[in-house]
Amino acid sequence: MPTHTLRPGWLVCLVLIAFAVGTDDLVIAGLLPVIAHDLDVSVAAAGQLVTVFSLTYAMAAPPLAVATARTPRRTLLLGGLALFALANLVTALAPTYTVLMAMRVVAALIAAVLTPAAFATAARLAPPDRTGRAVGAVAAGLTVALFLGVPIGALLGSALGWRSAFVAVALLTCAVLVASALRLPQLPGAPEAGVRQQLRQLGRPAVLICVTGTVAGATCGFMTYTYIAPIAGDLTGAGVSALAPLIAVVGVAGAAGTLLCGRATDRWGADRVLLATFAGMVATSLAMASLGSLGGAAPVWALGGVLALWGFAAWGFAAPMSARLLHLAGEAGTEALALNTGGLYVGTAVAGAAGGAVVAGYGGAGVPVAATLVGLAALAFMALSVRLFPAPATETGRVQAGAA
């Protein structure tokens, strides 16, 4: 689509879609004790609300992307936002744990449609030399949800009850829906004959290897993020008062990483930037592991500095990975991104399980060591992938298959 026909603000709308979905996904983590008390279940049972969302998203995203491939993009995004707002309102009214669990499944199904569609639409609407930064901006919407949307939701939950957080997400989604209706252009879906071809594209080794790299990269990154509290405690001896600033540092650095790595992708190509971010995760994980040799006496500022660099790389790989996939998948761009975001959730789940085992056996100081080993394997894997299936040096993310 010629860029001169686009209304200003279309990219902001796509970023806000990602922000709303990310907030809804993550906000519940800060509400678990309140939900458990209100619905008379254990905190562990309440925690399964997070698990069921992630698993539903991971399994549903690829088939839903194929099922909705022919739907015009504007129609798909606006309809999805309306359903997402409604789902959150019903969630806020859930009378029992069972109903709440069911609504988390519904929300995950809608999110599994919205997020890949937002990424692919950004790539299709952006000029060829700005695809990476457009994809990076949408990824930044998810990252900002970590350090802005989630804390606000947690504050609302503690002050007004957990239901108020979902009402807030519903109102935010309604606002994004109105803005998107005014600013998003018409964009066709896939032609009827293209869906079968898209399925064949998803099964190509180049695409599957790339998604496997996302699983490994997410495992490395989210292992550290999930267990940042025991890591900080064991490395620095600091109490919970240091945790919020450290998480904020990671969030700000992660948002900067998604944006700047998107711009770098446009300049130097997806493959170079992708390998650089994976190398950055390995180097910073190793630096964190080295702080463990100080026997719990590492300065908090030193850990904060390492976490800033780590957050930049750990979240920065989203833009080049998405741009690389868009090139490799051809006309199955949205479906490939759906498969990739599913891989991200799988990696998150693996990181939680593996990191928990490491903490149980070796404490928080063992997590950066494990993350370094996983990161080395992921870096080697992606280096092989890039060698076997290189993406163009520039304009990597242009979706030629707009039918996605």
Quickly state the pLDDT bin for 150 (edges 50, 70, 90): low
User: Distance (Å, rounded) from C-alpha 320 to C-alpha 326?
Assistant: 10
Read off the CATH number of the domain in which 252 is found: 1.20.1250.20
Mean pLDDT of all residues in 382-390: 89
Say whether both 41 and 177 belong to one domain: yes
CA 2 vs. chain centroid, Å, equals 29
Give a three-class secondary structure readout of 156-185. Answer: HHHHHCHHHHHHHHHHHHHHHHHHHHHHCC
Say whether both 129 and 224 belong to one domain: no
Say whether both 23 and 163 belong to one domain: yes
Q: Which residue has the tokens 């149980």?
A: 360
pLDDT digits over 78-91, tens only? Answer: 999 999 999 999 99
Say whether both 218 and 117 belong to one domain: no
Amino acid at 65: A
User: Distance (Å, rounded) from C-alpha 224 to C-alpha 216?
Assistant: 13
Domain housing 212: 194-388
Say whether both 220 and 363 belong to one domain: yes
Is 206 part of any domain?
yes
Instruction: Name the least confident of 60-64, 189-193, 353-357.
Output: 189-193
Say whether both 212 and 162 belong to one domain: no
| Residues whose CB is less than 8 angstroms from the CB of residue 224 and which lie 6 or more positions away in sequence, other chains included | 231, 285, 288, 310, 314, 355, 367, 368, 371
Domain count, the chain: 2
CA 96 vs. chain centroid, Å, equals 29
Angular region, 363: left φ>0, alpha ψ -120 to 50, beta rest: left
**Confidence (pLDDT) at 141:** 85
Instruction: Name the least confident of 83-87, 168-172, 270-274, 398-402.
Output: 398-402
Which of 258, 236, 298, 246 has the alpha carbon at shortest distance from 133?
Answer: 258
Is 30 part of any domain?
yes
Instruction: Name the least confident of 7-21, 118-132, 281-295.
Output: 118-132
b or e along 47-67 (b: 16 or more beta carbons within 10 Å of the residue's beta carbon)? Answer: bbbbeebbbbbbbbbbebbbe
Instruction: Name the least confident of 311-315, 333-337, 381-385.
Output: 333-337
Segments in 184-317 forming alpha helices (H) = 194-202, 205-226, 228-236, 243-268, 270-291, 300-316
Is 402 part of any domain?
no
User: Is 70 exceeded by the pLDDT of residue 3?
Assistant: no
User: Distance (Å, rounded) from C-alpha 124 to C-alpha 113?
Assistant: 17
